[in-house]
Structure 1
Amino acid sequence: MLPKAERTTPALRRTTLVTAAAMAATLLAAPAATADPGADQCTFSKTNHKYSGTPWALQRVNLDELWGESKGKGMKVAVIDTGVDTSNPQLTAAVNPSLGANFLPKKDKKGQPIEDRGNEKGTTDTVGHGTRVAGIIAARPMEGTGFVGLAPEATIIPIKQNDAEGHGTAASLVTAIRHAIKEKADVINISQDTTGAAPDEDLHRAVEDALAADIVVVASAGNDGLDGNSKKTYPASYEGVLAVAASDRNNERAAFSQPGDFVGVAAPGVDMISTVPKGGHCSDNGTSFSAPYVAGVAALVKAKHPKWTPRQIAAQIEQTAERSIPGRDRLVGWGVVDPVRALTEDDHPIETPRPDAGLTHAEAPTPAELTLGETPQERTARFATYVAVAVAVLVAGLSGGAVALRDARRRRRALESRT
């Protein structure tokens, strides 16, 4: 850890997958997205496109079985992001504005007022990022769409500390985490990481305080995986944080997803349908949307097992993930999260996932007994052979005797006819 005097305050970046053109304009610009192929570019309006089907990331889950175990009732999930727009009808009842906050500075470094800062409760979102994240966690069911949050009875705490211009910093993230602790959040979702190479001491301490307060902290792993880069990102790399990579429709790591030994699990992060400001839905890509998928599952597990610790809840999610190899993998951690298994294979808490969990191994054949001399099976086979030979001999003898008797009778009749 760097001494305080030597540390810098790194800027934050949202872990949405950004195209090269968008990155050229700004690292923090959210990409335009569409709800399905051929749809118009996503805009924020009350007449925005509504996704009528069921997104693939939800099709992979038996929601009836999942919600038969838990719907996240009573859980408070802090979404530390760009704000959450409550005018989207699927989020209006999901968000508690009284618990929200806005930690964006009112002026930038040049002393100019920050445009579109929004209200003080974090319930406005000009970027749309935080609104998408919140929807994946707790969007309420609505007629006309198959999209819904994984924990549809959880409550979102909207905490705004970032925007499209990158005014959020590690310092504002620290303040946001401490607000979530004060409001007694059960889960914190952080779909952002620092751009600084070194971890921030104050940020680390805030994360540790959240974990000590029995809050599950979920963070996105980052999107710098295209070049094989495996550098650590923060806060995802801090001990105790459940770091989430992105998986595709084939349960494999999405090409952009950040690999590393700090990755805990992976979750869907490609073509992710979710809510946007004003109303309707759009799709987007990135570990930003994998993290809330796992945060939603964490809220479900904690609602069912309120006495489990953050470590036990994280271990449960890791233990029940779908794996292709034994143990932990640097690409997808312990595997791709399986919400139903996380809620049904939960008879007791665990502290650490087992390397062999989730894999099926063929049983080795039972070795044959070492027998000196003839085995019972060999003896039985020998006796059977004797019987078969004896029967054959008997049949042959009987058949031969019958032929001889017949010939004798023919010769006797021939002699009698001559005389």
Structure 2
Amino acid sequence: MSTPPRPLGRPPLVLAATALCALGLPLASAPTAAAEDGGQCTYPSKKYEGRPWSLQRVQLDELWAQSTGKGVRVAVIDTGVDVRNPQLAKAVDARSGINLIPKEAKDANGYKLKRGKENGTTDTVGHGTKVAGIIAARPAKGTGFVGLAPDATIIPIQQNDADGNGTTTTLATAIRHAIAKKADVINISQDTANAVKPTPLLEQAVKAALDQDIVVVASAGNDGLGGNVKATYPASYEGVLAVAASDRNNERAQFSQSGDFVGIAAPGVDMVSTVPGGGHCADNGTSFSAPYVAGLAALIKAKHDTWTQEQIVAQIQQTAERSVAGHDRLVGWGVVDPVRALTEDDKPLEKPVASEGVTRAEAPTPAAVHLGETPEQRAARLATYVVVSGGVLVAAIAGTAIALRDHRRRRAALAGR
């Protein structure tokens, strides 16, 4: 039986849901996003008037002078994308979307589930709508929030819901659908329960996407509290860009999953984005770090449409802000720097290289300090003392003799008078 993937939202409730998954039970209801003022988010919600911190760290005018993501198609495999939010209405290609929730699906109470539209443009959870907004929300009056790639196109694929209706098999099907609909980038903000390695069908689908030069971005996971390190899927598959969450200090968010498979980090704390029906809410999780990177991948793809998916991933990693010279299991190759990724791009790279960051320098060699002297030095010193002393003694004797002679001569001269 396939292991159900889970959306990666706010860490505490995701952790609570993990135990249910381990028993093969449905996922707990997805959490409601916290509003920016600390209250509960409702759908629809109020607009966020300011510019979120995750966008303040980027010179957007400089970034968009290079690329806006126009012509790039990003598949969002999630809980659906609600096109009633005005910032997403023109960003979503509804004709390419699909709803993969089984028609016989039931909610946690056993009642038949209202699946929504067949094209994936219904989102009762809100998770997929937030993910899509971070990637490609259009500019709008009354808010400073906008997607990182505001001219990219979203392919909505509804593969999961609040009740865990979605398996690794349907996730594999979703990836195949994204390939068929000519996606350039695929965002997967979920992982398998309990970090169990899933059916080979999922890995085969991921490989098929990579073979088509599609950039596959996946969230690393939210079970990193206490230094927990484990592989998550599909993020751990070779070729997938696994994204950890960073905070306002460009450090790993406490909940963010660590491991050698982590390829990059991006903002994942207090992430403002679009919600169903309109407006915005804030949420935490690697779920919202992944689309930040997917948006950047869309920008690079639009500017360099001949680059391979490996070269796009290497460019993101090479230009990241690092605290060490190379790869780090906490934040991968560092925290993404969108402007640098779009401006330091003279030629494509196949792999990132360790070339900067804080490195551990060699300790200086201290000067030798002699607290004593060697036998040879002591012999030379004594010899010098002997020679000097001998010279002084000879001079003293000679001086005494001369003084005595002179004294006798003076006495003789006085006596002869």
Which TM class, normalised by the smaller chain length? 0.7 to 0.9
3-state SS of 2:208 partner: helix
Q: Which runs of 5+ in 1 are unaligned?
A: 1-7, 363-419
Cross-structure match for 1:240: 239
1:13 is aligned to 2:13:
no
Cross-structure match for 1:90: 87
Cross-structure match for 1:61: 58
Q: Which runs of 5+ in 2 are unaligned?
A: 21-25, 362-417
**Deviations, residues 113-140 of structure 1 (Å, cap 9, x unaligned):** 6412111000000000000000000000
- What are the within-5 Å matches in structure 2 for residues 131-146 of structure 1? 131-146=129-144
Partners of 1:286 and 1:323 lie apart in 2 by 21
State the AA in 2 paired with 1:139: A
**Deviations, residues 352-404 of structure 1 (Å, cap 9, x unaligned):** 11111456999xxxxxxxxxxxxxxxxxxxxxxxxxxxxxxxxxxxxxxxxxx
Cross-structure match for 1:78: 75
**Does the Cα contact within 8 Å between 1:294 and 1:337 map onto a contact in 2?**
yes
Partners of 1:22 and 1:126 lie apart in 2 by 21
Partners of 1:142 and 1:19 lie apart in 2 by 32
Cross-structure match for 1:116: 114
Partners of 1:240 and 1:359 lie apart in 2 by 27
Of residues 128, 131, 143 in structure 2, which corresponds to 1:130? 128
Offset at 1:197?
1.6
**Does the Cα contact within 8 Å between 1:136 and 1:274 map onto a contact in 2?**
yes
Task: Identify if the C-alpha distance between structure 1 residues 177 and 20 changes in structure 2 by more than 3 Å, giving closer, same or farther.
Answer: closer
TM-score (norm 1): 0.81
Offset at 1:21?
9.4
Partners of 2:356 and 2:92 lie apart in 1 by 36
**Does the Cα contact within 8 Å between 2:105 and 2:113 map onto a contact in 1?**
no
- What are the within-5 Å matches in structure 2 for residues 12-411 of structure 1? 12-20=5-13, 23=16, 27-38=27-38, 40-45=39-44, 48-108=45-105, 114-195=112-193, 197-357=196-356
3-state SS of 1:343 partner: helix
Please identify, of 229-238 and 283-292, the stretch whose mean Cα deviation from structure 2 is larger: 229-238
Partners of 1:242 and 1:28 lie apart in 2 by 27
State the AA in 2 paired with 1:186: D
Partners of 1:261 and 1:22 lie apart in 2 by 21
Identity %: 68
**Does the Cα contact within 8 Å between 1:22 and 1:29 map onto a contact in 2?**
no
3-state SS of 1:317 partner: helix
Partners of 2:13 and 2:152 lie apart in 1 by 36
**Deviations, residues 86-133 of structure 1 (Å, cap 9, x unaligned):** 000000000010000011101138996641211100000000000000
3-state SS of 1:90 partner: helix
Cross-structure match for 1:3: none
Task: Identify if the C-alpha distance between structure 1 residues 187 and 344 changes in structure 2 by more than 3 Å, giving closer, same or farther.
Answer: same
Cross-structure match for 2:389: none
State the AA in 2 paired with 1:163: D
Partners of 2:248 and 2:205 lie apart in 1 by 35
TM-score (norm 2): 0.81
Task: Identify if the C-alpha distance between structure 1 residues 227 and 93 changes in structure 2 by more than 3 Å, giving closer, same or farther.
Answer: same
**Does the Cα contact within 8 Å between 1:192 and 1:219 map onto a contact in 2?**
yes
Cross-structure match for 1:401: none
Cross-structure match for 1:398: none
State the AA in 2 paired with 1:355: A
3-state SS of 2:155 partner: strand
Partners of 1:277 and 1:285 lie apart in 2 by 17
**Does the Cα contact within 8 Å between 2:66 and 2:343 map onto a contact in 1?**
yes
Cross-structure match for 2:377: none
**Does the Cα contact within 8 Å between 1:19 and 1:31 map onto a contact in 2?**
no
**Does the Cα contact within 8 Å between 1:116 and 1:126 map onto a contact in 2?**
no
State the AA in 2 paired with 1:253: R
Please identify, of 29-38 and 51-60, the stretch whose mean Cα deviation from structure 2 is larger: 29-38
State the AA in 2 paired with 1:356: S
Partners of 2:351 and 2:358 lie apart in 1 by 16
3-state SS of 1:243 partner: strand
Offset at 1:16?
1.2
Task: Identify if the C-alpha distance between structure 1 residues 53 and 142 changes in structure 2 by more than 3 Å, giving closer, same or farther.
Answer: same
Partners of 1:285 and 1:129 lie apart in 2 by 11
